[in-house]
Amino acid sequence: MNLPFSRTLCVCAAAATVVVMTATGVSAAAPSPSGAEAAAFAEAASPPVPMPANPQGMPAPTRPGNALDAFAGYQGQSACASTPSPGIVQLRALALQTYARGGTSPAYARSCASGGTSEHKDGRAWDWMLSYSNLADRKAAADFLSWLTGPGPSGVRGEMAARLGIMYVIFNHRSWSSYNREWSTYTGYDPHTSHIHISLSWNGARAHTSFWTGKVWATDYGPCQVFTSQPAVAPTNVARTQPCVGAVMSPRRSTLPFSWLGGGGDAVAVAQRSLRIPVTRLFDVATQRAVLQFQRNHDLPRTGALDKPTWASLQPASARLNVPDWTPREALAWAQGDAGSPTLHRASAGKSVYALQVALELPDQWRTGFFGRRTANTVIARQNAAGQTATSRVDSEFWSLLANR
Ligand SMILES: [Zn+2]
């Protein structure tokens, strides 16, 4: 799979503040003068180091079966994690154990608040500090990369990359991806002569691949984005093997500024006061945890970010509507008329859910346009009171029930 946006990827360590993160509506700092996001991947090229024909490689912890994992397509970062994924932790440990080089490189996920789109932010990337200018480092890099991208035991080129769920690697002015499977010139801001950048697919990140488990797993699509121009939900350990339904516009926005892990300032202090946690002005892990809890309690997508829908519930005075300012009766009339009594359920999102929340006369903080626990419990209570089967599912019968009250 060769996706068109595969050219705008990553960019590691030193290359902070490069790509403006339009996917989440986050405006990064001033664009890099190098324009590194442009044409980071170019034409086919020689490998970054001469490749040994018979690399030692890394020992698989289990014996993979004959089935080979699908080569990963590009899965861009749009979520923020505070910890590295299991796949990164395991890969790092095994690489350092096997080659005993580059051990100063931490696995930790990086600040989500600076720089562009990067799997370092959602826990799927690791910078292995092997220097091209150091002979022993270079030999380790050559062995690893030859093993990873060359023919595997079954003769397939890049077999071990598939078995590990590698999305792409970058080293010494070259990149290799699972969707191109050849070395290309890398022209990003950082030439990657001080480290190998490794990005994993979501299967790779969860260590749900044949290298680690001996079996091939269903494709993991990673966390979903619920609202357009807002982040995807924070990653969990649960695989998602169904594609996301498309993101929709949030019914509410806010005048307060976006912030997430690594951010800070006055707005973060405002949020910390509202969340009743210590006011540090820094968006740290404790703040992310409190935001996630708030989102869970207020029917908001669990992004862990002070995104627009979250601000609208946390600071109602800052909220602005992207939908009409309905009375409950008007919301119901719209839902049963224009919207055709839509079927809604847990995790539904958008204008219809907002209309439902208004029609149910939920408190303002819960009118988020996202069908979470609060909305479900209220629906169940109404169904019980009316003697209907309590499913939390909203259908034409339930809309009629609300109308005939
Ligand atoms: Zn990197």
Residue 44 pLDDT class (50, 70, 90 cuts): confident
Domain end call among 194, 213, 232: 213
What's the average model confidence in pLDDT over 96-117?
Answer: 89
How far does residue 232's CA lie from ligand 1's centre (Å)? Answer: 21
Is the pLDDT at 16 greater than 60? The verdict is: no
Phi-psi map region of 210: left, alpha, beta (phi>0 left; psi -120 to 50 alpha): alpha
Residue found by looking up tokens 């119901």 in the block? 332
Q: Are 353 and 288 part of one and the same domain?
A: no
How far does residue 376's CA lie from ligand 1's centre (Å)? Answer: 41
Q: Are 127 and 37 part of one and the same domain?
A: yes
How far does residue 110's CA lie from ligand 1's centre (Å)? Answer: 10
393 lies in some domain: yes
Q: Are 68 and 164 part of one and the same domain?
A: yes
Q: Are 46 and 22 part of one and the same domain?
A: yes
54 lies in some domain: yes
Residue 42 pLDDT class (50, 70, 90 cuts): low
Collapsing DSSP to helix, strand or coil, 316 comes out as: helix
How far does residue 290's CA lie from ligand 1's centre (Å)? Answer: 28
How far does residue 359's CA lie from ligand 1's centre (Å)? Answer: 48
How far does residue 198's CA lie from ligand 1's centre (Å)? Answer: 7
Q: Are 11 and 62 part of one and the same domain?
A: yes
What CA–CA distance (Å, rounded) separates 321 from 302? 20
Q: Which helix (H) or strand (E) holds 378?
A: helix 373-385
How far does residue 13's CA lie from ligand 1's centre (Å)? Answer: 5
How far does residue 125's CA lie from ligand 1's centre (Å)? Answer: 6
What CA–CA distance (Å, rounded) separates 143 from 99? 9
315 lies in some domain: yes
Q: Is the dihedral of CA 274, 280, 282, 287 positive or negative?
A: negative
Structure tokens at 156: 């397939």
Domain range spanning residue 332?
328-403
Q: Are 91 and 181 part of one and the same domain?
A: yes
Domain end call among 321, 345, 366: 321
Q: Are 306 and 335 part of one and the same domain?
A: no
244 lies in some domain: no
Residue 19 pLDDT class (50, 70, 90 cuts): very low
How far does residue 341's CA lie from ligand 1's centre (Å)? Answer: 48
How far does residue 159's CA lie from ligand 1's centre (Å)? Answer: 22
Domain end call among 321, 336, 357: 321
What's the average model confidence in pLDDT over 372-385?
Answer: 96
How far does residue 11's CA lie from ligand 1's centre (Å)? Answer: 6
Question: Domain holding 296: CATH number?
Answer: 1.10.101.10
276 lies in some domain: yes
How far does residue 245's CA lie from ligand 1's centre (Å)? Answer: 30
What CA–CA distance (Å, rounded) separates 312 from 155? 55
Cβ atoms 300, 313 nearer than 8 A: yes
Which range, of 19-33, 166-180, 287-301, averages the lowest pLDDT? 19-33
How far does residue 61's CA lie from ligand 1's centre (Å)? Answer: 25
Is the pLDDT at 6 greater than 90? The verdict is: no
- pLDDT, tens only, 242-270: 999 899 999 999 999 999 999 999 999 99
User: 74: which strand partners?
Assistant: none
How far does residue 85's CA lie from ligand 1's centre (Å)? Answer: 15
Q: Are 128 and 184 part of one and the same domain?
A: yes
What's the average model confidence in pLDDT over 177-196?
Answer: 95
How far does residue 197's CA lie from ligand 1's centre (Å)? Answer: 4
Residue 43 pLDDT class (50, 70, 90 cuts): low
How far does residue 127's CA lie from ligand 1's centre (Å)? Answer: 5
Q: Are 270 and 134 part of one and the same domain?
A: no
Q: Are 30 and 53 part of one and the same domain?
A: yes
Q: Are 149 and 120 part of one and the same domain?
A: yes
57 lies in some domain: yes
How far does residue 165's CA lie from ligand 1's centre (Å)? Answer: 16
Q: Are 266 and 361 part of one and the same domain?
A: no
Structure tokens at 394: 């909203």
How far does residue 303's CA lie from ligand 1's centre (Å)? Answer: 23
- pLDDT, tens only, 69-90: 999 999 999 999 999 999 999 9
How far does residue 156's CA lie from ligand 1's centre (Å)? Answer: 26
238 lies in some domain: no
| Phi and psi angles of residue 183, each rounded to the nearest 5 degrees, phi first | -75, 135
Cβ atoms 241, 220 nearer than 8 A: yes
Residue found by looking up tokens 């509506």 in the block? 25
226 lies in some domain: no
What CA–CA distance (Å, rounded) separates 153 from 227? 44
- pLDDT, tens only, 329-378: 999 999 999 999 999 999 999 999 999 999 999 999 999 999 999 999 99
Which range, of 29-43, 47-61, 345-359, averages the lowest pLDDT? 29-43
What is the chain's mean pLDDT, rounded? 89
Residue found by looking up tokens 């690489």 in the block? 95
How far does residue 117's CA lie from ligand 1's centre (Å)? Answer: 11
How much is the pLDDT for 342?
A: 97
Domains contained in the chain, number: 3
What CA–CA distance (Å, rounded) separates 341 from 379? 15
How far does residue 54's CA lie from ligand 1's centre (Å)? Answer: 27
Which residue in 206, 87, 210, 95 sits closest to 156, CA to CA? Answer: 210
